[in-house]
Amino acid sequence: MRQMGASLSSDWDMKERMSVLRQASPVAAPDDMELIVKLRQGDEQAFASLIDCYHSSLVRLALAHVSDRSVAEEVVQESWIGVLEGLDRFEGRSSLKTWIFRIVTNKAKTRGVRESRHTTFSDLQGDTELDEPSVDPALFRTSGHWADYWAEYPQPWDEETPEKCLLTKEGTAYLEQAIQALPSKLKQIIILRDVEGLGSKEVCIMLAVSEANQRVLLHRARARVRQALEHYVQGGTRPA
């Protein structure tokens, strides 16, 4: 609990840095109702604006379930067809963005299972992400009066170096790489919450997880990404 509590303060810090990926796409989300009307009328320009707005995000989301980018692109293309076919059935119970993301998530899951054609050992482990420590236990003292306290404090992320590094093309590439290295559940959570900015209730419904599990998974994901980024910020590993 001490270890988890010690890193909670970094969650907001991690969320702020995830906004770098959102800022990389200058296209603003269109107004739902106005856009839906145009789409149902067969407005090709409206559909093109929707693709411009969400396509790269959907590919990133699909990659949480399939390992190959070309397969992710295929999944998203199939999903766009599903969006067009399902427009008349869209009832507005969620935002248009959430509805589209749910279509992609379902198709990507199905494609991922079909591609693997078997259940891996990791799939049988359940929510192992909920049991592991958020921070490397080696960073804490194990004995003496200061047991369970930091043995070495985390590197501070001030405005002079890390922030500027993450705003570079290389830094953004490493951030995306760190996210893609996460296990599937953690990857989905951090993409939906921190990169795409969906609310916790929307994500819980999309991924069929409880609010408590969603919070824990998000915290684990942020902790892992932050740890990976520390290597980059401190001049270690560079993006491939």
Our measurement of the distance from residue 129's CA atom to the centroid of its chain's CA atoms, rounded to an integer in Å, reads: 15
Distance CA 145, CA 127 (A): 34
Beta-carbon contacts of 92 under 8 Å, excluding residues fewer than 6 positions away, are 32, 33, 36
CATH code assigned to 2-22+127-233: 1.20.140
Token readout for 103 is 């279509």
Overall CATH class of domain 26-121 = mainly alpha
pLDDT at 143: 66
**What tokens were used for 190?**
């951090």
Among 165, 102, 135, 155, CA closest to 225: 135
What percentage of residues in the chain have a pLDDT greater than 70? Answer: 60
Q: Are 178 and 171 a contacting pair, CB within 8 Å? A: no
**Per-residue pLDDT tens over the stretch 63-109:** 888 888 999 999 999 999 999 999 998 888 888 988 999 999 999 98
Averaged confidence pLDDT in the chain: 75
Neighbours of 222 (CB within 10 A): 26
Q: Within 13 A of 122's CA, how many CA atoms are on the CB side? A: 6
pLDDT of residue 177 exceeding 90? no
- Domain boundary assignment for the chain: 2-22+127-233, 26-121
The rounded distance, in Å, linking the Cα atoms of 75 and 112 is 10
* DSSP per-residue codes, 95-118: -HHHHHHHHHHHHHHHHHHHHH-S
Output the pLDDT for position 74: 95
DSSP 128: G
What pTM did the predictor assign?
A: 0.65
Average pLDDT (203-218) is 90
- The packing angle between helices 10-23 and 169-180, to 10°, is 110
